[in-house]
């Protein structure tokens, strides 16, 4: 048999296709389960686009909408679009659809932030609108809640949209309250019904125009409770993962750190640690590509070895195997 090598190649191909019938190749073609953006928002650790992404502390409070176009903060009172995230200050800004602004004012049931959630109120200023006058008598546990030294009420009441709250144009300012510092109640809620106000506006920044409410930045700033980061150990691991081009996530059973490198590869270190000494650290899905390759090579080698041992052409050995 002078053309033994080519026979062996044919045999290997036959063997390969024989074995691959039993391997679900199609499971390999999946999208990376974690996204780096959601709508126009960049999503990275410690926040995540869904389950298994970012830090487990922020799930299920922060997630990308099923349509993938909006990052949402979900609390016991509703889901609110996240309009910006600052990773340096660990803050995010939400814009509840029922919040009033200078362009649109409407009735709102209020807003709640779960006490168990990793967020607390940030720096934004709440303006309670269309309250039962006089707002100077608004108290919580006997203390007045309105800052009467502020002139923000006069400014926001110049917005023609006040009619949306059943107010006349240029309404009396004793129906408005600068709720500062804003303290949510024991349930973590801004309870407008209890305060006898119809709506609220929340201002993140006056943008250097304290008297021009049409130029203010509206939204509710939330701060990550106790800082955004988990612990020194996980944060360092995530940093190394991100530098190597991976995304940080976590996996059951104990929500331990994983670095997502591609649709088929999660590691416990980072995406550059694919060298042999770290092979044990890799967490492949059930039947992974490298082990299949090794298995194939091993089988091919075995057939070849056997055929040379019994001094018979490899195809007869293969026929015996099959
Ligand atoms: C990698 O981890 C993510 C997050 O836990 C998970 O959704 C995904 O299925 C994992 N992928 C593999 C190939 O194990």
Q: 9 C-alpha vs ligand 1 centroid, how far in Å?
A: 36
Listed in order, strand segments (DSSP E) in the chain are 37-38, 41-42, 62-64, 71-75, 78-86, 91-94, 111-112, 119-121, 125-131, 139-140, 143-144, 177-179, 189-190, 197-205, 217-218, 220-224, 247-251, 256-260, 265-267, 282-284
Range with lowest mean pLDDT among 10-14, 19-23, 98-102, 295-299: 19-23
Contacts of 35 (CB under 8 A, 6+ apart): 43, 49, 50, 53, 64, 68
pLDDT band, residue 31 (cuts 50/70/90)? low
- Distance in Å, CA 123 to ligand 1 centroid: 36
* Predicted pLDDT at 263: 85
Whether residue 15 is predicted with pLDDT greater than 90 in this model: the reply is no
Ligand 1: residues within 6 Å at CB?
A: 33, 52, 249-251, 258, 260, 264, 266, 285
> Taking the model in full, what pTM does it have?
0.73
Protein residue with least CA distance to atom 1, ligand 1:
266
Q: Nearest C-alpha to atom 4 of ligand 1 is from which residue?
A: 52
Residues in the chain: 322
Nearest ligand 1 atom to the CA of 266 is: 1
Mean pLDDT, rounded, for 291-315: 54
pLDDT in tens, 68-96: 999 999 999 999 999 999 998 889 999 99
- What is the tens place of the pLDDT at every residue in 246-273? 999 999 899 999 999 988 899 999 998 7
Q: Which of 33, 59, 247, 262 to mutate to test the pocket of ligand 1 (most atoms within 8 A of CB)?
A: 33
The domain limits of the chain are: 4-23+292-321, 97-220
Tokens of 222: 């939330």
Model pLDDT, residue 232: 77
Average pLDDT for residues 20-43, to the nearest whole number?
A: 64
Compare 296 and 171 and report the one with higher pLDDT: 171
Question: How far is Cα 315 from Cα 164, in angstroms, rounded to an integer?
Answer: 85
pLDDT tier at 139 (50, 70, 90 boundaries)? confident
């Amino acid at each position: 048999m002078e053309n033994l090598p080519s026979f062996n190649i044919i045999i290997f191909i036959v063997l390969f296709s024989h074995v691959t019938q039993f391997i679900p190749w199609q499971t390999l073609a999946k999208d990376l389960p974690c996204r780096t953006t959601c709508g126009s928002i960049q999503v990275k650790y410690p926040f995540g686009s869904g389950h298994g992404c970012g830090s487990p502390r922020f799930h299920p409070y922060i997630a990308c909408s099923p349509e993938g176009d909006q990052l949402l903060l979900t609390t016991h009172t509703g889901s609110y679009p996240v309009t910006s995230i600052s990773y340096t200050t660990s803050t995010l800004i939400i814009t509840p659809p029922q919040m009033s602004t200078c362009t649109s004012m409407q009735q709102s049931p209020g807003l709640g932030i779960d006490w168990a959630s990793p967020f607390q109120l940030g720096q934004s200023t709440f303006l309670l609108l269309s309250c039962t006058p006089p707002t100077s008598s608004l108290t919580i546990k006997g203390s007045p809640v309105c800052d009467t030294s502020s002139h923000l009420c006069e400014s926001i009441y110049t917005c023609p949209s006040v009619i949306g709250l059943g107010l006349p144009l240029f309404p009396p300012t004793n129906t408005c309250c600068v709720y500062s510092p804003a303290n949510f109640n024991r349930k973590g809620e801004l309870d407008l019904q209890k305060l006898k106000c119809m709506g609220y506006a929340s201002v993140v920044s006056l943008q250097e125009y304290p008297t021009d409410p049409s130029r203010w930045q509206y939204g509710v700033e939330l701060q990550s409770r106790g800082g955004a980061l988990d612990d020194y150990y996980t944060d360092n691991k995530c940093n190394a993962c991100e530098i190597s081009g991976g995304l940080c996530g976590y996996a059951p059973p104990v929500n331990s750190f994983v670095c997502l490198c591609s649709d088929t590869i999660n590691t416990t270190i980072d995406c550059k640690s694919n060298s042999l000494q770290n092979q044990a650290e890799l967490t492949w899905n059930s039947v992974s590509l490298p082990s299949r390759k090794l298995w194939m090579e091993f089988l091919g080698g075995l057939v070849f070895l056997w055929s040379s041992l019994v001094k018979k052409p490899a195809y007869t050995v293969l026929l015996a195997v099959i």
